[in-house]
Structure 1
Amino acid sequence: MSVDGLKDATDEPGWEVDPDDDWGVAVVETVGRQLKLRREAVGMRVADFAVAIGYGEDLVYKIEAGKRIPRQEYLDKSDEVLEAGGLVSATWEDVKKVRYPKKVRELGKLEGQAVEIGVYECNSINGLLQTPEHARAVIGAAQPPYSPDDVARMVAARMARQSVFERSPAPAVSFVLEEGALRRPIGGTMVWRQQLERLLEVGRLHNVVLQVMPMSSDTHSGLDGRIELLKFADGTAVGRSDGAFNGRPTSEPRHLRILELRYGTIRAQALSPGESLAFVEQLLGET
C-alpha cells in the first residue's frame, strides 16, 4: 500500500480517543509517550520516522501526543523501525480495546467470561448476531444521529463482542428473537439477506440455540422488553431486563430467579430451534 493509502486508512473515522474514557486515554497517552521516547532514543526526527514507517508526519504527532489510536500495522512497523523486539507490537493487546466504548468493553468482558449466555431481544436482532453491514444500518438510523466516528467505533465494538463464538471451551448460548425484527429489511434487501444467512450460520453452531417468537403467538411473557442472563464458572450470575429493576444489571438471587423464570417461559412459548431455523430459511427464500 502506498504512503497515502496508509495515511488515509488510519485517518478514517473510529480511531479517535474518547475523552470521557479515562482508561482509554491513559493507554493511548502511555503508548504515544513510549513511541516518542523510543524514536528520540535512536535519534530519529518525526519527518524521518514518518517516512520510515510509511505514514504522514501529522499522524505521528497525533499518536505520540495520545490524540489518535494507532492501528496494529502502525505499531508493528514502528516496532520494526525502532528495533523494539516486539515490545511496541505487544501494546496492541491494550490499544485495540480502546476503540470500543467503555460500556461495551464492560459488557464484552462479562460475555467473554460467561459459561452460559441467554438473550431475549424484542425490537431488533441482538448485537452478537449482527453482520457489520446490519449493525452499521441500525446504529446509523439512530436519532439524533451519531457522528461517523461514533458509528465506526460502535460497529467495531459490536463485532468484537462476537469473539464469544470463538472461545474454547465454548459457552452455551441461547437467543430468542422476535419474528417482526427478522422481517424488517434494515439496510436494504442485500443487507437483510446477509443478516438472515448469518442467523442460520450461528444458529447451526453446536453450542448455540436460536429461537423465534412468532407473531401468531397468543401468549407472550416478554412484553416488558429485552432480557439478558449471564452465568459464570464459579456459580455466580448477572442479569438485566428492560422491564425489571430499573433496567440495571443485578446479581441478587431473588432478582435472577425472576429473570430466569421469564426467560424460560419465553423460550417455551417460542418456536423450537428446528422450527426456528426452518422459519429463517423460509424468510430467506421469500426475499
Structure 2
Amino acid sequence: MPGLLQTEAYARAVFTSRYPNYDDEEIEEKVAARLARQKLLSRRPLPDISFVLEMIVLTRPIGGRRVMKAQLRHLAEVARLRHVRIQLMDPYREDHAALDGPFVLLETDKRRQLAYIEGQGGSFFVTEHPQLGNLFGKYGVTRAQAYTPERTLETIEKMAEEL
C-alpha cells in the first residue's frame, strides 16, 4: 500500500513489523512523516495522482481485520477524489507490464519528469532517457491492463463490506 494511501494505524502496523526493528520513538516519527506527506493529496493546485495496485495489497490483513477494514474504507474515500485515480490489477492476469516491481513517476511544477524506484537494496531516481521514457510507457500499459477506476472503487467497497 503506497504511503500516500495509508491510514495512521496501517502505517504504524507496517513500521512495527519492520526488520530490523525500529524503537517506539522511530515508529512514531516515521508515522508522523508519512501522514504529513499525505497533505499532497489536498494541496492547491490539486495534483493529478494515479495508482495501480496489486490486489494482494487489499487482501493481506496488515494490522489485523479492524485496521484493514478502516484502510479499505479510507482507500475508497481517496478513490472518490476527482483528482485521484486508483486502479487494481486483475488478480487473475497471468502477466502485466510492471511485474518487475513498483515505481513512482513524478512531474515537477516546471514539468520536469523523473521516476523514483525503491526496493530492498535502496532507492534511486531515474532522470535520463531512455530509462525514464520506458517507465512512463510501462505505466501507460500497466494502467490499460488494470481495472477501471470505477470497477476498482466498487471492488474496494465490496471488500470493506465483507471484511
Same topology, TM > 0.5:
yes
1:208 corresponds to which residue? Answer: 84
SS at structure 2 position matched to 1:249: strand
1:191 equivalent in alignment to 2:79: no
Q: Which runs of 4+ in 1 moved over 3 A?
A: none
Give the deviation of 1:127 after TM superposition.
0.1
Q: Larger relative CO (CA 8 A, sep 6+): 1 or 2?
A: 2
Q: For each residue in 1:114-158, what CA deviation from the matched residue of structure 2 results, as whole angstroms up to 9, or x when unmatched?
A: xxxxxxxxxxx1000000000000110011211111101100000
| Distance of 1:164 and 1:181 partners within structure 2 | 22
Q: Over alpha carbons, which structure has the higher Rg?
A: 1
Give the deviation of 1:260 after TM superposition.
0.4
Give the deviation of 1:219 after TM superposition.
2.4
| Cα RMSD for the two superposed structures | 1.4
- After TM superposition, list the pairs within 5 Å mapping 1:11-30 onto structure 2: none
Q: For each residue in 1:76-102, what CA deviation from the matched residue of structure 2 results, as whole angstroms up to 9, or x when unmatched?
A: xxxxxxxxxxxxxxxxxxxxxxxxxxx
1:260/1:170 CA distance change after superposition, 3 Å: same
2:125 corresponds to which residue? Answer: 249
| Distance of 2:68 and 2:79 partners within structure 1 | 16
SS at structure 1 position matched to 2:114: strand
Alignment size in residue pairs: 161
| Distance of 2:14 and 2:5 partners within structure 1 | 13
Amino acid aligned to 1:231: E
| Distance of 1:267 and 1:226 partners within structure 2 | 13
Pick one of 155, 177, 185 that aligns with 2:31.
155
- After TM superposition, list the pairs within 5 Å mapping 1:2-151 onto structure 2: 125-151=1-27
Pick one of 11, 26, 47 that aligns with 1:171.
47
| Distance of 2:141 and 2:92 partners within structure 1 | 16
Give the deviation of 1:247 after TM superposition.
4.7
SS at structure 2 position matched to 1:248: strand
Pick one of 137, 144, 147 that aligns with 1:261.
137
1:283 equivalent in alignment to 2:135: no
| Distance of 2:33 and 2:131 partners within structure 1 | 29
Amino acid aligned to 2:83: N
Give the deviation of 1:242 after TM superposition.
4.8
Where in structure 2 are there 5+ consecutive unaligned residues?
Answer: none
SS at structure 2 position matched to 1:238: strand
Give the deviation of 1:263 after TM superposition.
1.0
1:226/1:129 CA distance change after superposition, 3 Å: same
Matched-pair contact (CA < 8 Å) for 1:219–1:269: no
TM-score (norm 1): 0.54
Structure in which a larger fraction of residues adopt helix: 1
Where in structure 1 are there 5+ consecutive unaligned residues?
Answer: 1-124
Identity of aligned residues (%): 39
Matched-pair contact (CA < 8 Å) for 1:240–1:259: no
| Distance of 2:92 and 2:151 partners within structure 1 | 14
